[in-house]
A and B are shown apart, each in its own frame.
Chain A
Amino acid sequence: MIAYLFIILGLVFIFFGTLGIIRFPDIYTRLQTSSKCDAAGAVALLVGLMIREGLDSLSLRILLILVFLLLTNPVASHAIARSAAIRGIKPWRKKKKG
């Protein structure tokens, strides 16, 4: 039961992260929702799968994949944002009226 709660939480995070990828206006805002989708969604989904499996060699390997994703996803997001900032992409501003 708790496992499926975590899995549903992860799927909700993943769905709204992808919605943000489609709807948001800028590279940096899209990067922000993509990073949330990767971190929170993937961690909740994999923790739910680990709880469903129980303590096992398979769940330990899932823990290895989870730690790897937690280490590498922020690094990849930062690398993308840094390369966009170096090439002079300006952050999006809301247009003023008049």
Chain B
Amino acid sequence: MTAVTIIITVLGITASLALYRVIFGPSPWDRLIAVNLISSKVVMIMVAAAVFFERRIYLDVALVYAIIGFVSIIAISKFLESEDTDRK
């Protein structure tokens, strides 16, 4: 077991545990929180892979993934905020 195996395994298992909250979350905000968590974990997996496998292009992918995740979280939370959509 090398270090990168342990890091990616722990991050993947915790992301799968957060997926439980995405599927069975009672309200849409719970799902949103879990999706935010999974998105940041995927960024961390990409950075770990970039450092340990010497692939520098993964860092650019991680940065763009973080930007897209942030914009989508803001957009979905503004969408849930409006009174027109009755989604309890």
Grouping DSSP codes into helix (H, G, I), strand (E, B) and loop, the B interface class, with mixed when no group exceeds half, is: helix
Interface size on B, residues (CB 8 A): 41
B51 pairs with A52, CB closer than 8 A: yes
Chain A: interface size category: 35 or more
Closest to B34 in A: A21
Q: How far is the CA of A75 from the CA of B60 in the complex (A)?
A: 22
Closest to B20 in A: A22
A64 pairs with B63, CB closer than 8 A: yes
B81 pairs with A49, CB closer than 8 A: no
Contacts of A84 in B (CB 8 A): 27, 29, 80
Contact mask for chain A residues 37-68; partner B; CB cutoff 8 A; 1 contact, 0 none: 11000100110010011000110011011001
Grouping DSSP codes into helix (H, G, I), strand (E, B) and loop, the A interface class, with mixed when no group exceeds half, is: helix
Known A21-B21, A22-B21; contact A83-B80, beta-carbon cutoff 8 A: yes
Known A69-B66, A80-B77, A83-B80; contact A34-B51, beta-carbon cutoff 8 A: no
Interface residues of A (CB under 8 A from B): 4, 7, 11, 14-15, 17-19, 21-22, 27, 30-31, 34, 37-38, 42, 45-46, 49, 52-53, 57-58, 61-62, 64-65, 68-69, 72-73, 75-77, 79-80, 82-84, 86-87, 89
